[in-house]
Structure formats: C-alpha cells, structure tokens
Amino acid sequence: MKNIFLQIRQQKLKKLKDELSLDALLLSSTSAKKYSIDIEIEGSFLVYGDEEFTLIYHQMFQELCVNEAKNLNCVVISKPILSYFNEQKILRGKVGIEEDNLTVSFTKSLRKIFPKVKFVNISDKLTKLTGTHDDESLSRFKRASLITNKVYTEILNEIKPGVTEFDLAQEINYLIKKHGGDRESFSPIVAFGKSSALPHYEPKLKKLGKEKVILLDFGVMYKGICTDISRTILLSENKEIYNSYLLTKEAITESEKLLKPGAKVAELDNSVRKIFKDKNLEDKFIHALGHGIGYDVHQKPRISNQSKEVLEVNQIVAIEPALYFSGKFGIRIENNYLITINGSLNLTNY
C-alpha cells in the first residue's frame, strides 16, 4: 500500500499539472524523484501522466529497481534515454520539464524529437514543492542530524598529533555508516592550519602538527535527506584566531534572530556583511551566507545579497558565516535551521 505521505505529495503534483494544463511531467532531478516516489536511480527519468508514474532507467540499475520499486511501473532500457524517446515518442501535448536541471543540448534534442510538444519549464514550481518539508522529510532530517551529531562527537576523539586530514575524512565516512546513515551528503572537508582558509579544500595526507585550527565540513545523507554542518576547532590560544571565531559566532547568532517566514534572504546576507564590515573584515567573507537544504545538499533559496527570495515556513536552510585569511587560517560555522511559524529552530545545535 502506498505511503500516505507519498499520496499527499502526488496529489500536489497532480494539482500542479492540472493548474498548468499539462498532459505530463518529465522529472529528472534527484529531489523531484525522491519527493514523488521516494526512489532515486542514477540517470533515470520519471514520467507522470494519465494519473500514473513511469520510471525509465538503464538496465545496469535493474536489480536496484527490482528491490526499491516493486509496485511502480518501470521501463528498462539498454540505450541512451534520448534514443528511447526518439523510438517510442511517449510525450505529447504540453509537458512540464525541469529545464534548470537539464543541459541545453538535452533540451534542444527533446524539442527536436518532439517538435509538436510544448515544453514548459516548471523548475521553480517544483522547487517550491520539494523545498518545503512535510512530516516525513522533517523526520528524516532530524534522524540525519542525530547521526551527524554522533559523528561529530566521535571524530573529536580522533584528533591527535600525527593524524592526517585524509584519515579524519575517511573516519567521518565510516562513522556515518556506523551510525545508520546511507552515506556522506558530499565529500567531507578536513583542513588543518592555513588550509582552512580554502573554502573548497580537499583533504590531503598532511599530518597534524603544530597547527592552531582545524576546519571540518561534512554532512549525512539519510533516506535521501541531507545535512550540512561546519565546525572550527581551536587547538591553541591565539588572539587573532579566537577573536575571528567570536566574530563569526556573533554573525551566526545575529542571523538566527532574523530567520523567520517572509524574511528577505538578501537582508540576512547583508546583516552578516555589516558585522564583518564594522571590523574592516568584509573582504574576508567570500561566499554567500547560505542555502536551502533537503533532498539536495545545495538547493533554493540561495541566501545571498543578490537573491530576491524570501524564507517560507517548513524550509530548512544552512547558514554559514565565515572569515578566510589567505595563507593563515579560516573560520566557518554552519548550522541547519527549520523555518517555523514563529521563527526558526536550530536542528544542528551541537
């Protein structure tokens, strides 16, 4: 029997299809497929038309689909998806697609294969559905966050002289699975000393010596839902590092006060930049304040001073103020917050 949460979600998809007078939806993103049928198979496409979902995937994933999609209409192909579309001509009328998730060449090919089909970009409308958490996805996020907390607590015990960045990153991946996570939601960042000043650093075989700071950035995927946290660990007394840490802490605390439904994300970002600007450190904050999180580790809203979006109830957002001092050190603190009717709730309060 179909889960009630899927029934409700699929009713919302039907409403969207009807409102736009669409004959079908062609879903390609991980988030849309997880939201619609609670299954994601690499490279697959989900067609929703005539009140039925059809999952199209390559035969190399057949065993996976047999295990996960027993009650779903599946089409197994042995050729590229565009070749299948070209042969079967399964789309007609007016079809909603996630154009933002498809390459330009793929979209052009679709239009060439189906010259009489009117394709409508529904990316933004789908994002509003998948980016708003229901009881099921929120329950999964809380479980993922609990696992994240256990991993963080235990990884602290592994920080000792001689351990390498790579060792700690591998240990994070192991602990995620040990505590029930499916896998990491992205490759963990473990950065010692001056490497912490590089936002997208990849762990090396660098041993921990006399470095004064460690930056950790990792997340857990649990049943399709992701977490994403950053923690900065101070290893010795250093006035400049400590003051930078306190200022970053102040920035995230001020952000928390502004997190509520209707808040303009540009104002959130600017509020943090003002804190740093008052200390002549605005140029040390070199990325956006945050992003939405859920089925994808980075999704809308993009919390930037260039964005026109506003926060909505039941969104989860990652807030990550940071300061990067090139060649010296970096500080980043990142928490995940549920937007509630009255404000927000820190789901990663550890």
Q: In terms of domains, do 187 and 228 share one?
A: yes
The reported pLDDT for the residue numbered 43 is 87
Query: Of 104, 130, 156, which one is at a domain's C-terminal end?
Result: 130
For the segment 145-169, the average pLDDT, to the nearest whole number, is: 97
Q: In terms of domains, do 99 and 168 share one?
A: no
Q: In terms of domains, do 94 and 216 share one?
A: no
pTM: 0.93
Query: Element (H or E) spanning 17, and its range?
Result: helix 4-19
- Give the range of the structural domain holding residue 142, as residue numbers without chain letter: 135-346
The CATH number of whichever domain residue 27 belongs to comes to 3.40.350.10
The overall average pLDDT reported for the chain is 95
Q: In terms of domains, do 102 and 222 share one?
A: no
The CATH number of whichever domain residue 182 belongs to comes to 3.90.230.10
CA-to-CA separations, 320 to 253, 256, 289, 347, in angstroms, rounded: 11, 11, 5, 14
pLDDT above 90 for 350: no
The reported pLDDT for the residue numbered 40 is 83
Q: In terms of domains, do 61 and 158 share one?
A: no
The reported pLDDT for the residue numbered 50 is 82
pLDDT (tens digit, 9 = 90+) per residue, 68-94? 666 788 899 999 999 999 999 899 999
Residue 1 pLDDT level (bands cut at 50, 70, 90):
very low
How many domains is the chain built from? 2
Query: Of 102, 130, 158, which one is at a domain's C-terminal end?
Result: 130
pLDDT above 70 for 152: yes
The reported pLDDT for the residue numbered 2 is 59
Q: How many angstroms separate the CA atoms of 234 and 242, rounded?
A: 8
Query: Of 130, 147, 177, which one is at a domain's C-terminal end?
Result: 130
CA-to-CA separations, 305 to 100, 115, 162, 271, 319, in angstroms, rounded: 21, 40, 41, 10, 13
pLDDT (tens digit, 9 = 90+) per residue, 238-258? 999 999 999 999 999 999 999
What's the burial of 3, exposed, middle or buried (CB within 10 Å: 0-12/13-18/19+)? exposed
Q: In terms of domains, do 97 and 14 share one?
A: yes
* Residue 228, C-beta contacts closer than 8 angstroms, at least 6 positions apart: 185, 186, 217, 218, 219, 293, 297, 318, 334, 336
| Sheet-wide strand order for 229-234 | 189-192, 213-218, 229-234
Our CA angle for 119, 121, 123, nearest 5°, is 145
